[in-house]
Amino acid sequence: MKDAVGAKISAFVSRKESMLEPDELTAMLRLTRLGWGSRRIARELGCSRTTVQRYIDAGGWRSFHSGRRGAGKLAGHAAWLRERFFQHCGNADVVRQDIERKLGLCMSPDNKEAMALTR
């Protein structure tokens, strides 16, 4: 009996770490159209109920969206930022001070825009 429970748990853990297959997504949408609830679909496919709800709300598979908005204040300065970043051995606070001094842009110490452009 313990072996069956252990196998079920390991299958559940490995399932949570993998992505949905396209045919599983198709089945999920088809079952929704047949009137199945998200809990029942999640139990049947072995995935999270929130995963089912997310795919149903999206109407299928959607690509990842990073959430980045348009070009920021530093968009035209990528090469300059990269140079400063390596010059100061990755010290972001010194780079921030250079931005304020040389470019006249006031940036808070927790602004991630400068670091995103230096990568």
Q: How far apart are CA 42 and CA 46, in angstroms?
A: 6
Q: Give the number of domains in the chain.
A: 2
Predicted structure pTM score: 0.42
Per-residue H/E/C for 67-112: CCCCCCCCHHHHHHHHHHHHHCCCCHHHHHHHHHHHHCCCCCCCCC
* Alpha-carbon Rg for the chain in angstroms: 24
Q: Would you state the pLDDT for residue 60? A: 80
Note down the domain range covering 6. 2-58
Q: Are residues 44 and 17 both part of a single domain?
A: yes
Q: Which two tokens stand for residue 24?
A: 């599983």
- Contact yes or no for 53/68 (Cβ under 8 A): no
Do 7 and 52 share a domain, yes or no? Answer: yes
Domain termination residue (choose one: 58, 87, 103): 58
Residue 19, in any domain of the structure: yes
Do 42 and 90 belong to one domain? Answer: no
The answer to whether residue 17 sits within a structural domain is: yes
Residues contacting residue 41 through CB under 8 Å, at least 6 positions apart = 28, 31, 32, 52
At residue 67, the pLDDT reads 58
In a domain, 63, yes or no: no
Per-residue pLDDT of the chain (119 residues; tens, 9 = 90+): 455 545 544 455 444 446 677 888 889 999 999 999 999 999 998 888 998 998 899 888 776 655 556 567 777 888 888 898 889 888 888 888 888 888 888 776 655 554 455 44
Predicted confidence at residue 19, as pLDDT, reads 67
Q: What is the CATH number of the domain that holds 23?
A: 1.10.10
